[in-house]
């Protein structure tokens, strides 16, 4: 289902299953996109065998963001933009995310999306005082993750891919911190019942992560970081990758609850 087709439906909330929306707020580097596709392709592939139709919407180009009742859930992509710059499209998307959270519509914000979700609900996003975190890093769950619908049975520590200069510096009131590490205190959080932010990239595989390290090699060297050593430490992140499929299942359950007796 395309954004144009969605616009032709008068009451999309009556359609079952309702689409899962990928909100595209950025794109990867040209050389990587030519070889591997872009954020939306990686996220869609990570969803696995979901029964939900997937629609990609880009508010930067003027796509209309649907009403909460019209979708089963939303995944908000990363971006090379910065939440703290408060671009009009970013602020408008943040206001829409607040509506989704209020309506209990499942949300998963990734990297920029994670920071935007925190900002939109009253937290703060900005430059991390330690600079850039990039590569394959270990993430540690908090005790609160044991009861979380998305993360409840993950191992207490697992590897994940990261690349970011900004962070969710302060979480919104009522948010539950779910994961962190020595560099980034908030690698994951939940706000409300069905909204999550993850600073790491569950949609990245090792090849994509190496592509980011290679592309950013010069600025990394300028900061005294050895990109070759980072590249050598890139590893598989199968546990982190599972989160996309888990989120798709949560969105399926949310859609099914809106249409009991229908499949």
Q: Which residue's structure tokens are 């979480």?
A: 171
> Which of 6, 40, 111, 119 is flagged as catalytic?
111
Contact 114, 197 (CB under 8 A): yes
Annotate 151-214 with DSSP letters as a single string: TTTS-SEEEEEEEESEEEEEPPTT-EEEEE-SS-S-SEEEETTTEEEESS-TT--HHHHHHHHH
**CA R_g for the chain:** 18
Separation between Cα atoms, residue 9 and residue 37, nearest integer Å:
29
Q: What is the DSSP letter of 197?
A: E
Asked if 203 is an active-site residue, the reply is: yes
Contact 76, 23 (CB under 8 A): yes
Asked if 223 is an active-site residue, the reply is: no
Separation between Cα atoms, residue 34 and residue 41, nearest integer Å:
12
> Which of 128, 203, 252, 254 is flagged as catalytic?
203
| HEC per residue, 213-247 | HHHCHHHHHHCCCCHHHHHHCCCCCHHHHHHHHHH
Give the CA distances from residue 204 to residues 10, 91, 100, 184, in Å, rounded to whole numbers and listed in that order.
36, 26, 25, 18
Q: Retrieve residue 235's tokens.
A: 């590893």
Q: Which residue's structure tokens are 């929306």?
A: 21
> Which of 114, 201, 252, 254 is flagged as catalytic?
201
Catalytic residues: 111, 201, 203
């Amino acid at each position: 289902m395309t954004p144009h087709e969605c616009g032709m439906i008068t009451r999309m909330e009556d359609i079952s299953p309702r689409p899962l929306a990928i909100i595209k707020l950025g794109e990867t580097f040209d050389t990587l996109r030519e070889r591997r596709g872009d954020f939306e392709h990686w996220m869609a592939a990570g969803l696995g065998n979901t029964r939900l139709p997937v629609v990609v919407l880009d508010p930067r180009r003027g796509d209309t963001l649907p009403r909460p009742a019209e979708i089963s859930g939303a995944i908000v992509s990363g971006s090379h933009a910065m939440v703290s710059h408060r671009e009009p499209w970013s602020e408008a998307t943040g206001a829409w995310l607040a509506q989704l959270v209020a309506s209990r519509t499942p949300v998963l914000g990734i990297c920029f999306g994670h920071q935007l979700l925190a900002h939109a609900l009253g937290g703060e996003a900005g430059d991390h005082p330690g600079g850039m975190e990039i590569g394959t890093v270990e993430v540690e769950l908090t005790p609160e993750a044991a009861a979380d619908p998305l993360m409840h049975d993950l191992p207490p520590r697992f590897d994940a891919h990261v690349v970011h200069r900004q962070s969710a510096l302060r979480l919104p009131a009522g948010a539950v911190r779910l994961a962190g590490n020595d560099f980034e205190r908030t690698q994951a959080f939940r706000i409300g019942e069905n909204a999550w932010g993850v600073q790491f990239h569950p949609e990245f595989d090792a090849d994509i992560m190496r592509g980011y390290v290679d592309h950013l090699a010069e600025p990394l060297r300028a900061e005294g970081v050895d990109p070759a050593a980072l590249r050598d430490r890139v590893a598989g992140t199968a546990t982190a990758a599972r989160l996309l499929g888990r989120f798709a299942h949560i969105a399926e359950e949310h859609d099914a609850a809106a249409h009991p007796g229908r499949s």
